[in-house]
Amino acid sequence: MKLKLLTITFLGASLVACGGGGGGGGGGSGIDTSVAYQLTARINGVDVPNFTVKPGESKVLGITTGQDVEIIANAPSTLLTTDNGAASAAELAKTDTNYRARFTTTQHTIAKRVFAQSTNPLNTAGVVITVSSSDTSFNAVTPKVGDRFTYAETDKTLAGTTVPFPLSTHIVTALTAAGWDEDFANPGPVVMSKVNFNKNGNRIGYQATANDPNGCKNALFNPEEKLLEFPLVQGKTYGSSWTTSCAPDSQLETFSAVVGPYEQVTTAGGVFRAFSIETKTVVTNSTDLRLPGKGYQQTVTVWFDPILGRNVKYRGVRSYPGGEPTTDRDKFLTETNIDLTNVVKN
């Protein structure tokens, strides 16, 4: 069983992404006509730093019930899409360069706003607004067919090599009796794999395409790769174990997690409200003969947005307590860094 299947143990469950990356830039300090068309934002009148939406992009803005969202365009715009989900939105301002609304809700929900530049309607930019209610507990969410989530990943190997990967877009393709299916596609787009999830967003299967570099073409997680357990609430602890199999090989993985604060976190994909979850995964019987101790372990901090139903940031460190491999050290990871860069919600 090749390493890559096992590399992103947490990615498969909830880092589940179109569009380009981007993100950077200043907050909503006013109209700036010196740059190409873009949107910035304020929450309750305060500029949101590092939040810029450019044509073709869709970024997330996480708020709590009762907060005002102000979206500022640097050129005259038309509001194309208004979707409030389960929230009510009282519009407080609506001009061709400034839109402001107060969102209130009794249940966690997602709202959307899509804008187009008036002089060039093909220049569209979207804002996905996740709105938390006063409830501090969160249940699993079901995505919609066509939802797309894009991630950027950079790894480091035992040889000290930094390895950047192409952007990966996870596309929800079908809702199933068990949960849902997704295509993981690289730019092109080239579908690298198909992944099967249960209703809690935990992986139960994986089928690589001929283009995927993994040695494993058909993996199963029995009974499930249980990285998420609902309801999620700060302070919750949970654990699980499963067998990852790729015929004729299999390995046992054990997992533990502690749910930390529900906090603000920023990536190129937006400004999110997410749980920080500290996790540890231990593999004790790897079939990879290059591992002297036949195993490894990884500690990961992941930030999971429970309204979006996705990981938005992942920082993982892998170690080899039984001894590091002495060959092919450029094939074994020590660090994994993954960020959500773009979100398209149906």
Cβ distance 168 to 193 under 8 Å?
A: no
pLDDT value, residue 80: 97
Domain membership flag for residue 240: yes
Which residues contact residue 308 at a Cβ distance below 8 angstroms, ignoring those fewer than 6 apart?
A: 60, 110, 128, 130, 141, 272, 343, 345
Residues 127 and 157 in one domain: no
- Which pLDDT does position 216 carry in this prediction? 79
Range of the domain at 261: 3-16+143-344
Residue 23: inside a domain:
no
Q: Is residue 108 part of a domain?
A: yes
- Pair (151, 287) in one structural domain: yes
Q: What pLDDT does 214 receive? A: 55
Which of 88, 110, 132 marks a domain boundary?
A: 132
CB within 8 Å of 248: residues ≥ 6 apart: none
* Separation of alpha carbons 185 and 205, rounded Å: 17
- 61 shares its domain with 177: no
Cα angle value 79/101/66 (rounded, 5°) = 150
Residue 43 lies in a domain: yes
**114 and 192 share one domain:** no
What's the CA gap between 114 and 112, in Å, rounded? 7
Decide which of 132, 161, 191 is a domain's last residue. 132
Coil vs helix vs strand at 327? coil
| Domain membership flag for residue 97 | yes
Q: Is residue 263 part of a domain?
A: yes
Q: b or e along 287-300 (b: 16 or more beta carbons within 10 Å of the residue's beta carbon)?
A: ebeebeebbbbbeb
Same domain, 305 and 246: yes
Please tell me the distance from the alpha carbon of residue 319 to that of residue 156, in angstroms, as a whole number: 12
Distance CA 215, CA 193 (A): 12
80: in domain: yes
Specify whether 85 is located in the same domain as 193: no
Q: Is 311 contained in some domain?
A: yes
| Nearest residue to 268 (alpha-carbon basis) of 12, 19, 32, 16 | 19
Count: domains in the chain: 2
Q: Do 330 and 132 form a contact (C-beta atoms < 8 A)?
A: no
Amino acid in the structure at residue 311: N
Six-digit token pair at 339?
């960020």
String of DSSP letters for 179-223 = EEEEEEEETTTEEEEEEEEETTS-EEEEEE-TT---S-SEEEEEE
> What pTM value is reported for the model?
0.89
Read off the CATH number of the domain in which 64 is found.
Answer: 2.60.40
Whether residue 8 is found in the same domain as residue 55: no
* pLDDT at res. 203: 97
Measured distance CA(179)–CA(205) in Å, rounded: 11
Q: Is 225 exposed, middle or buried (0-12, 13-18, 19+ CB in 10 A)?
A: buried
Residues 193 and 170 in one domain: yes
Show which of 87, 106, 132 is a domain's final residue: 132
DSSP string, 233-254: -TT-EEEEEEEEEETTEEEEEE
Same domain for 225 and 265: yes
222 and 324 share a domain?
yes
241 and 330 share a domain? yes
Per-residue pLDDT 10s for the chain (346 aa) are 333 333 333 333 332 222 222 222 233 334 444 568 999 999 999 999 999 999 999 999 999 999 999 999 999 999 999 999 999 999 999 999 999 999 999 999 999 999 999 999 999 999 999 999 999 999 999 999 999 999 999 999 999 999 999 999 999 999 999 999 999 999 888 898 999 999 999 999 999 986 655 567 899 999 999 999 999 999 999 999 999 998 888 999 999 999 999 999 999 999 999 999 999 999 988 878 888 888 999 999 999 999 999 999 999 999 999 999 999 999 899 999 999 999 999 9
Pairing of strands 109-117, 77-83: antiparallel
The CATH number that applies at residue 184 is 2.40.360
Q: Specify whether 223 is located in the same domain as 334.
A: yes
Q: How far is CA 111 from CA 12, 81, 131, in A?
A: 25, 10, 7
